[in-house]
A = this chain, B = another copy of it.
Amino acid sequence: MPGTACKNCPLRKRNLFTPFTDEELAFMHSFKTGELNVDPGTTILMEGSNSPQLYTVLEGMGTRYKTLENGKRQVINFLFPGDFTGLQAGIMGEMQHSVEATTPMTLCAFRRNDLWQLFRQHPERAYDLTWIAAVEEHFLGETIASLGQRDATQRIAWALVRIYERLKAAGLGKDGDVPLPFRQQDLADALGLSLVHTNKTLKALRSMGLAHWNDGSLQLKKIKSLADLAMIDLERPQQRPLM
């Protein structure tokens, strides 16, 4: 039982997450195989490989991405504390994307082979897992709508709002600030924009006073206006399970 015991998990204290009973915590802990600490730039899961583990992010941030044959990269989603990843490989067998650490990260690892046990013995956790998958599916659908129908300014506004909401909900940052240690290139690859145009659009949002992203810190002073620009509704933070 290396690393933190689940019942002492600092993340779990945040009321973003649905509380677990001691019995539930004990089970999750038995499901856990260890903690993984990685340096920035480390590839945690590799497209095409067959990972034996599933992960919950305890600390740090990363990207989930696909690389195309022509070398282009599509960032599918960012990984923040509390996020769960690896279910696809856990269920389908082979990773369809890679996961890379952007900052130093700590991940809680679970045995993929225990997944079926979880479904048999703990239907509540199985339900949680499906809940997580459904929420991710919803988010990916919104991403598709952004790439397909929004112009560059709206796309960036959309991404910044959603990122801000997620990081705030995870309890990161203070006041109107939130840490965002990615490169502009990462955001560009997430939105299907060129680096140059991403840079210019960020400048425009800055000069409009809507979004300031400097030195790894994102500041949204007028998130409502930014959301209007992106043509989206703000999402109220919703309690969710932490695996």
Please give the residue numbers on chain A whose beta carbons come within 8 Å of chain B beta carbons, in ascending order: 66, 68-70, 72-74, 76, 87-88, 90-92, 96-97, 116, 119-120, 123-124, 126-127, 129-131, 133-138, 140-145, 147-150, 189-192, 231
Number of this chain's copies in the complex: 2
Q: How far is the CA of A129 from the CA of B137 in the complex (A)?
A: 13
Name A141's closest neighbour in chain B (CB-CB): B76
B72–A141 contact, CB under 8 A? no
CB-contact partner of A68 in B73, B76, B137, B149, under 8 A: B149
Query: From DSSP, what is the main secondary structure of chain A's interface residues?
Result: helix
A149–B192 contact, CB under 8 A? yes
Q: How far is the CA of A96 from the CA of B232 in the complex (A)?
A: 12
Listed from nearest, the 9 A-B pairs whose CB atoms lie closest are: A148-B192, A147-B147, A74-B145, A133-B133, A140-B140, A119-B123, A91-B134, A72-B149, A69-B231
Q: How far is the CA of A141 from the CA of B67 in the complex (A)?
A: 12
Provide the residues of chain B in CB contact with A92, threshold 8 Å.
131, 134-135, 138
Q: How far is the CA of A191 from the CA of B143 in the complex (A)?
A: 13
Name A94's closest neighbour in chain B (CB-CB): B138
Told that A69-B231, A133-B133 touch, could you supply 13 new A-B pairs with CB distance under 8 A?
A66-B141, A68-B145, A74-B149, A87-B137, A88-B137, A91-B127, A96-B141, A96-B142, A119-B123, A119-B127, A123-B123, A143-B144, A148-B189
A137–B144 contact, CB under 8 A? no
6 contacts across the A-B interface (CB closer than 8 A): A66-B141, A74-B144, A76-B141, A87-B130, A133-B134, A148-B192
